[in-house]
Amino acid sequence: MDFDDTPDEAAWRAEVRAFLDEHKDELGQRAGARELDATVARRRQALLYDAGYVGVTWPVDAGGRGGTPMQQSIIDQEMARAGVPGLINLIGIGMCGPTVIYHGSEDQKRRYLQRLLRAEDLWCQLFSEPASGSDLAALRTKAVQDERGDWHVTGQKVWTTLAHLSDYGILLTRTDPDVAKHRGLTMFVVDMKAPGVTVRPLKQMSGGADFNEVFFDDVVIPDSERLGEVGDGWRVALTTLMSERLTLGGGGTEIGLSVEEVTRHVAAQVAALPPERQALVRQQLGRSYVSSLGIRYTGYRLLTALSQGNLPGPEASAGKLAGTTAARDLADLAVRVLGDDAVYGATADGSSTWQDLQAVLPGMAIAGGTNEVLRNIIGERVLGLPPEPRADKDKTFRELAAAGA
């Protein structure tokens, strides 16, 4: 693989870099782990979208640019280089939007997609439940259709990122308990402000509350908001999950702060350490740098495959698994060297410490597929190991629920 930019990629990189430099005051700088001024973040995303730098790979008729994954990767790299905060509607762009593009009606695409790209509407992904996280197909939130064709939804979701700020969400429900658990599911777009929707933020050990539990008490959803066919929700959900893993770990960019950023923060303190401890810290930084290169180049392999028209493979799972591990190692190292109260960024409501980041990152080992699920994917699809035994394969969901499975 040629790691140098082609002439077209170099020109694109120069264009993106010039825009970010010109608008650095409007775009702001990446702050701490808990920084989230929704109004400022929406305005930032709208500015980037209007310049052509959001939804680059989306089809033109969906509000995108019809560009390449490499163009998007260059934008991600240049935003990281310039310290520009990430997009507030990342879940909408990376997961919800592609699901609407592939499975939504023309009316849904017209109403939702461009507003999503400009962050006029924020979106969330309503999948996990108290009794079905990694085993997503075991979900119990039910949707029942009435004589008018509307659907009545009752149940609970949990660990829903940004639900407290969201205008819409994609909601996976059970519509038929008398078939195998993967076959009786249906996906909808849900208005997060609809009667019967209750959102309760969950306090995290970082001090923030980005995750939420969401309750549905006889929430009415028109059939026109269905995504895909009735009972075909698992196939629709796979579109979302594939996009999620690519968004979180498949593009070759670091999760959290890069090893170069961490090194800059700790350099002075490391130089003042006793020689024997200094050697240990340098060794850890070296290992982290090697890991980051592996993640980066594995991501480039995936981007090359996408550029050639191939579907994402297990590289996205491997990138996400390795990325979260490397990020946690770096945050742990910074806390050990600098101390719990050392600051790495300023936020609107104070400062963000390395310990804040250290507390946030374990959640990334759950989001987008737990480390255990990702290892299973790599074992089966890369190493050719046999799949785990599945005793529930030929049973209906109703039978499983009655058995307490």
Which residues are catalytic, by number? 244
Q: How far apart are the first and last CA of the chain?
A: 47
Cα 336 to Cα 388: distance, rounded to the nearest angstrom: 39
The angle that helices 371-381 and 315-338 make with each other, rounded to 10 degrees, is: 140
Mention every residue, 6+ apart, whose C-beta is less than 8 A from residue 194. 219, 220, 221
Cα dist. 71→45, 65, 186, 190, 377 in Å?
17, 10, 34, 32, 28
The total number of residues written for the chain in this structure: 405
Is residue 66 within 8 A of residue 58, CB to CB? The reply is yes
**Cβ atoms within 10 Å of 6's Cβ, excluding its own:** 10
- At residue 68, the 3 state secondary structure works out as coil
For residue 119, which of 181, 59, 63 has the smallest C-alpha distance? 63
Per the listing, tokens 């989001």 go with 367
Is residue 125 within 8 A of residue 214, CB to CB? The reply is no
| Positions of E strands within 158-221 | 168-174, 185-191, 197-201, 212-221
Cα 365 to Cα 59: distance, rounded to the nearest angstrom: 31
Sign of the CA dihedral running 95, 101, 104, 106: positive
Cα 173 to Cα 179: distance, rounded to the nearest angstrom: 14
The tokens for 123 are 């979106």
The angle that helices 233-249 and 275-307 make with each other, rounded to 10 degrees, is: 130
Distance of CA 199 to the CA centre of its chain: 20
Per the listing, tokens 């981007």 go with 303
- In this structure, the strands spanning 212-221 and 226-227 are unpaired
The DSSP call for residue 140 is -
Per the listing, tokens 């939702």 go with 112
